[in-house]
Chain A
Amino acid sequence: MKRCLLMLLLAACAPDLRDDFPFDGALPAGNYLENQAEADGVTYSTIDATHKDSFVYVDLDTAGVVTVADGWELSFQRFKISANGGSSGPGTVRVALVKGEDFGSATRAPKDGYLQDGTDTVFNGIEGGWYTYDLGKHKLVTNDDRFYVIDNGEGGYWKLRMKSYYDDQGTAARMTFWWAKLLPPN
């Protein structure tokens, strides 16, 4: 009690909340991409792009995270998605936006419509980008009338459809998307 009174004079007496209610996890340490196999060769991924300054680079061939020096197709930072090419990187990756078609039934990559990133990235800049910002709710809403086809310039094609800017726990910049390998164009 005496110690408590002394503490009162200096600051306060109650224990730190974190001692009574420990947080249920530590901050993520390296596991930036989680993949989950679904039917028809589709992978459902969650990417941790929460860092404000750093990009997370993804190699679609290996379905894993790589460094900037390695061969990567896409990079993620918060809501920004870049493709390795044009203004975003030294690679040859191009991206096509596909609207009005069913993501699930697409098996072959389109012949044309591919663009490299410019002042804005294909994902973020073309046709309003992959999301719309809802000012009323302060929430990023996925424009789900579209999916993207990625051509790595080396014969690899993938389709990718964004699910959400938020993961299932509501964390922003923990984006979720479906993607699958496509046959090359005829």
Chain B
Amino acid sequence: MFPALIVAVAVSQGARVESPVPYFEVHSGFWQNLHHFLYELGQRKRVAEGADLWVAAPIDHGPLGLTAAEQPVWDAAVEHYARTWAEKDALFDDDLGELKQVLAAHEADAALPEDLHLPAATRQVLESVAPLYRRAMWPRHDAANRRWFKERAPEVAEAGPVVVPMLERAFDAKFPKAVRLELVGGSTGGGAYTSLRGGPFIVASTLDPRSQDRAGTEILFHESAHAMMESVRPALGPTAGPKLWHAVLFWTVGEALHRHWPDYVPYAEREGVFTELRAPIAAAWLRRLDGKPRLQVAADDLLKRVGAPDPDVAAARAQTVVTGTRTERRLEDAVVPTEVITRAQLEAVGAKNLEQLLLQQPGVEMEYSFRGAGVSLQGLGPEYVLVLIDGERQTGRVGNLLDLTRYSLRDIERVEIIKGPAAALYGSDAIGGVINLITHRPRAKLELLGRAQGGFTNGPGQGLKGDLIDARGHAATKLGWFEGKLGAGYQTQGSYDYDPRDVATSGAGFSRWDVDGLLAAELFGGKARVSAKAGYLRRDLQAVDLAPSGAVFDRRQRSEQFDATVRFDAQPAEHTRLSLWGHTGLFRDQLQQDQRGAAFLDTYTASLDRIYTVDAQLDQQLAEHALSAGVQFLKESLFSSRLSQVGDRYRVGVFVQDEWDVPGLGAVKAKLLPGLRVDVDSQFGTAPTPRLALKLDPHPNVTLRASYGWGFRAPSFQELYLLFENTSVGYVVEGNPKLLAERSQSLNLAADVRLPLEGWLVSASLFHTELTDLITIDTSAPIDPINPTRFKYGNVSSAYAQGLEASLRMRLSRGTYVDLGYVLTDARDNVRQAALAGRAVHKVSGQLTSRYRPLGLELVVRATFIGPRPFYIDENGDGIEQQVWTRGMVNLDAQLTWHPFGWGAIFVGGTNLLNAGDAVYVPQPPRRLTAGVQLEY
């Protein structure tokens, strides 16, 4: 079938060897041979001196026949190789790799050139012994090379048409063509090695006793197939360990040749390589030689058989959290149940801001109004949820609502959610829970990330409107002790409208940009760190409002947020950590309402919120106790033209906490977490907030958690000092400077059961919160345009919120998960004797996440059914509000991401695909379709 092998006449320097098979471009190069021979002798010298190197069994190269004058020159060359190169790996060492390329390029030259990748010393050594080698050994090596390939070529030619298709099926890749094959007489450490940089490049030792006969042919197929691992390695993933893919390669090629030559004993079997992996590979993988099952299925099966954890499961188990105790803990060990949304997850769902991300999070509800989107946890509204960035309280609540669409997620590494009381650590507002955004810290010498997307809004009954742009990027570095980061983002988004019959919009359009930066330095060899970061964000909103009177307003709002933090962390002793930090946050808001066609109702209001905090925290590990104590000074102020005076107050909070690993319970693990914080405020006085939390692991697969805690919410400056007159309607709303803080008591019980199936988790929790001294306006007095009624805030009401949350995480295959969740909420106002507005009783959520690594595809589909929600409105104008229920609605989001290379991704997706929402009660953003790219270095 193939023409007879024609061996070129050997020239003095050697060179191209004629190859009858298309797979190889064969070389027998003088310099390559000399280099590998010296490398072998250097390695053997080092082994003789006691170094632990993997070298072939002795090879009989025959006598060198050097003269007494030549011997020292030769010995010096071997010595140079022993010292310089012998302990470097021929495959993995970059310098050796470069050197090999230089020698290949000059294989037929009489002398070597000066080259950056050819150290002068080595070049001199090679040239000094070249005449000796050419006379004494090169003819033998060159002849051995040519003889070896002459024997291999017919075997390759014969087996190739059978074996190559098998390998192509097994590895889902094309067998490479015309691979450069360098034949050398000396040892390469192993019998052969292949580098892939700049195209596959095989160096095979022709005198190595392990490489003779058909084993040599297997080596050629094996080395070529190194270039076919691009699908296999990602399919096996990061938890497969560094060797598994190579074992798969060994046993697959060996088995292919064994099938062709039934009496052939595969190399790995004969040499005892990766024998422990033979059985699982045979069971899970080798059917791939027939093309079945699919690569990922076989890879998953193999990983299971070798006991490698699912990368997702492994990553989830390694996840750390910080919010529950203000110290870093593994998620599984955290006494306070914490939910984490990682960077990978938030990229996979494609959320552009915090509102979009949390809308579909089980047990989280969004509230929409003209002030933006606020978050509810455990049936408690936005005023009872504390939002933090890196543990820092955010300022800029408007009407008690912190607008989550302000937070772009650009710089967010993960989001931690704690449901239930956390006032024992964080003080005011942490009643329903805490949402903590953890920002990214540089980890590499150079990190570059850019992301850009555009999209369309497609509201109900409206066409596609191209009105979305989101571009963001950051550059960061960690160079030794220095860390720096600079990021910026720009977003614009059109307004939307659920009721096009009138001119009013349902949601504002906006443009926003933000910049932030970080500088940090490690001191005392990493025992301390100082950092400073600052960020600025500006957002312009535009909307159209329609008043009952028919007045139309162009509403423009301009918000600015500035945050700066300076922080010092130190670890003065092994079990002691000390942190000191200061933070300031400014939030300036301008609101202009411009009446169309007139100026009578034009208004302009401005407000400026400021917060200053200084914190100190000490953590001390004492045997099984992890003690933390801290103090916080807080000053906050609000200037607003709607307030009767400038709001200003000071608070000092002190907390202590003990995380105690209760000993002596045998197999049962228990942790107890008592904590207490006391806040003393210049306006409302003292608020103690104790908490007791418990974590019990009665079985390795079962975790039980319980916590009981108090909380409080400081009255807002609006509630204290508001002066809002609506004389035309007939009322005045006044703040009440004597308000006390609202108080709460909460009980949470939770259980996690990890099912015997890997990656399956059942969780359930019960929560109950009692709120007392609730601040409300008593609006029972009739309003009267003649003598406007004065409504005043008071600590008059009480309420409770309770419910049940259940979730099931199912791992269907590697990279494919289904999450199901159900939340039952019962939240009632005790005075009004009615359900709290806007809280759905039932919420059901589902999420499908599927990743197909070999193609780099990732799909996330999220759906949430939100049951009917009660609202209160006076429909018939008799002054008594009736309860109205919205219809149930389904939020559906989907995003498909394709990672064609490690540093890039292309994504298309849509949010609110079913156009859930309405103009009056739930004016959430309508259907949006987006597509974009992300580049990352």
Q: How far is the CB of B492 from chain A (nearest CB, A)?
A: 16
Stretch at the interface among B410-418, B457-465, B552-560: B552-560
Stretch at the interface among B443-451, B543-551, B766-774, B925-933: B543-551
The contact of A21 among B592, B728, B876, by CB within 8 Å, is B592
The contact of A135 among B554, B600, B728, B783, by CB within 8 Å, is B783
Assess whether A50 is in contact with B600, with CB atoms less than 8 Å apart: yes
Assess whether A18 is in contact with B873, with CB atoms less than 8 Å apart: no
B595 adjacent to chain A (CB < 8 Å): yes
Assess whether B602 is in contact with A171, with CB atoms less than 8 Å apart: no
B730 adjacent to chain A (CB < 8 Å): yes
Chain A residues whose CB sits within 8 angstroms of the CB of B601 once the complex forms: 170-172
A123 adjacent to chain B (CB < 8 Å): no
Per-residue B-contact encoding for A57-101, CB less than 8 Å = 1, 0 else: 000000000000000000000110000000000000000000000
B49 adjacent to chain A (CB < 8 Å): no
A13 adjacent to chain B (CB < 8 Å): yes
A2 and B547 CA atoms in complex are apart in Å by 42
Q: How far is the CB of B329 from chain A (nearest CB, A)?
A: 36
Chain A residues whose CB sits within 8 angstroms of the CB of B730 once the complex forms: 133
Chain B residues whose CB sits within 8 angstroms of the CB of A26 once the complex forms: 599
Chain B residues whose CB sits within 8 angstroms of the CB of A41 once the complex forms: none
A170 and B592 CA atoms in complex are apart in Å by 17
Assess whether B586 is in contact with A12, with CB atoms less than 8 Å apart: yes
Interface of A is mostly: loop
The contact of A12 among B588, B594, B727, B874, by CB within 8 Å, is B588
Assess whether A139 is in contact with B549, with CB atoms less than 8 Å apart: yes
Chain A residues whose CB sits within 8 angstroms of the CB of B556 once the complex forms: 17, 21
Assess whether A168 is in contact with B597, with CB atoms less than 8 Å apart: yes
Interface size band for B: 35 or more
Assess whether A27 is in contact with B785, with CB atoms less than 8 Å apart: no
Interface size band for A: 35 or more
A50 and B536 CA atoms in complex are apart in Å by 41
Interface residues of A in 9-30 (CB under 8 A from B): 11-14, 16-18, 21, 23-28
Q: How far is the CB of A85 from chain B (nearest CB, A)?
A: 20
B900 adjacent to chain A (CB < 8 Å): no
Interface residues of B in 844-879 (CB under 8 A from A): 873-879
A18-B592, A52-B727, A78-B727 in contact; A136/B875 too (CB < 8 A)?
yes
Assess whether B599 is in contact with A11, with CB atoms less than 8 Å apart: no
Chain B residues whose CB sits within 8 angstroms of the CB of A27 once the complex forms: 599-600
A52 and B728 CA atoms in complex are apart in Å by 9
B490 adjacent to chain A (CB < 8 Å): no
- Smallest CB gap from A170: residue in B: B551
Chain B residues whose CB sits within 8 angstroms of the CB of A105 once the complex forms: none
Q: How far is the CB of A156 from chain B (nearest CB, A)?
A: 30
Q: Which of B730, B877, B879 lies at the interface centre, i.e. has the most chain A CB atoms within 10 A of its CB?
A: B877
Q: How far is the CB of A128 from chain B (nearest CB, A)?
A: 14
Q: How far is the CB of A135 from chain B (nearest CB, A)?
A: 4
The contact of A171 among B600, B877, B878, by CB within 8 Å, is B600
Assess whether B600 is in contact with A14, with CB atoms less than 8 Å apart: no
Assess whether B728 is in contact with A12, with CB atoms less than 8 Å apart: no
Assess whether A24 is in contact with B594, with CB atoms less than 8 Å apart: yes
Assess whether B877 is in contact with A136, with CB atoms less than 8 Å apart: yes
Assess whether B600 is in contact with A12, with CB atoms less than 8 Å apart: no
A14-B560, A52-B727, A78-B727 in contact; A169/B595 too (CB < 8 A)?
yes
A137-B548, A139-B548, A170-B551 in contact; A25/B592 too (CB < 8 A)?
no
Q: What are 17 inter-chain pairs, A to B, with CB distance below 8 A?
A: A8-B536, A8-B562, A17-B557, A18-B592, A23-B594, A23-B604, A25-B598, A133-B730, A136-B873, A136-B877, A138-B729, A166-B551, A170-B550, A171-B595, A171-B598, A171-B601, A174-B600
A-B contacts besides A79-B785, A172-B549, 8 pairs, CB < 8 Å: A25-B599, A50-B600, A79-B728, A135-B879, A136-B875, A136-B876, A170-B549, A171-B595
